Amino acid sequence: MQLDALSAAGCLKVYTDTATGTKADRPQWIRCQEDLRPGDTLVIWKIDRLGRNLRDLIDIVTTLEGREVGVQSLTNGIVDTTTAHGKLVFGMFALMADYEAALIRERTTAGLLAARSRGRHGGRKPKMTPELIGKAQRMYNARQFTMAEIATSCAVTPMTIYRHIRTDRTAQRSTDP
């Protein structure tokens, strides 16, 4: 049905990705973009086939417009950037997407602030507790263990140990001007 509609619309070349439109890796889409030239019109069956979400769709169409390539959707007559009306409608979509992104940012920020005011902090719990840091520091100071052994005993990586304990090198750096 989609291929028939594209043929009836006079499409010279048809690109088909077998993966869903939600996947970023679409080899035929990449080939299509490489083949498009200024003055071409990209004809699509349905607008949701072009982008993963509204922001992605707007970025794609804006990029194509910058290359002087129009976009026309067969089933959504409202998307046709080859006409003034279509450009206006698409511009309104872009404004709505920006507005939606701003609302999401505001809600996220408000939620994080509310959580912090209740004493909650995001992220995972630190692997190195004050007790483990003390244990690692004592093992290091004893000079009987390698960093790998200290890390293994604390169930972390050697880099984590380096970040948390005071070594001779960190002490020297902190006293250097």
Query: What is the structure's pLDDT at 76?
Result: 66
Q: How confident is the model over 93-103, as a mean pLDDT? A: 82
Which amino acid type is present at position 155?
A
pLDDT of residue 50: 77
Q: Which pLDDT does position 6 carry in this prediction? A: 79
pLDDT at 78: 62
Residue 150 has pLDDT above 60, yes or no: yes
pLDDT value at position 68?
Answer: 93
Burial class (CB in 10 A: 0-12, 13-18, 19+), 51: middle
Predicted confidence at residue 171, as pLDDT, reads 47
Structure tokens at 145: 């263990």
Q: Which residue has the tokens 């990449």?
A: 30
Q: What pLDDT sits at residue 152?
A: 96
CA pair distance 74, 61, nearest whole angstrom: 15
Phi, psi of 78 (to 5 degrees): -75, -15
Pairwise CA distance, residues 138 & 161, whole Å: 12
Residue 166's closest CA among 145, 126, 137, 132? 137
Predicted confidence (pLDDT) per residue in 1-30, tens digit = 777 777 787 888 888 887 654 556 788 888
For the record, the structure tokens of 105 come out as 């940012």
Q: Pick the more confident residue, 31 or 94.
A: 31
Which pLDDT band, with edges at 50, 70 and 90, does 109 fall under?
Answer: very high
Q: How confident is the model at residue 149 (pLDDT cuts 50, 70, 90)?
A: very high
Rounded CA-CA distance 60/94 in Å is 11
Whole-number Å distance between alpha carbons of 42 and 9: 11
Burial category of 21 from C-beta neighbours within 10 Å (exposed 0-12, middle 13-18, buried 19 and up)? middle
Q: Is the pLDDT higher at 73 or at 107?
A: 107
The two three-digit tokens of residue 6, written as one number: 């594209």
pLDDT of 25: 74
d(CA 50, CA 53): 9
2-98 adopts what CATH topology? Rossmann fold (3.40.50)
Looking at per-residue confidence, does 51 or 155 come out higher?
A: 155
Query: Between these two residues, 34 and 95, which has the higher pLDDT value?
Result: 34
Whether 169 shows a pLDDT value over 60: the answer reads no
Averaged pLDDT of the chain: 83
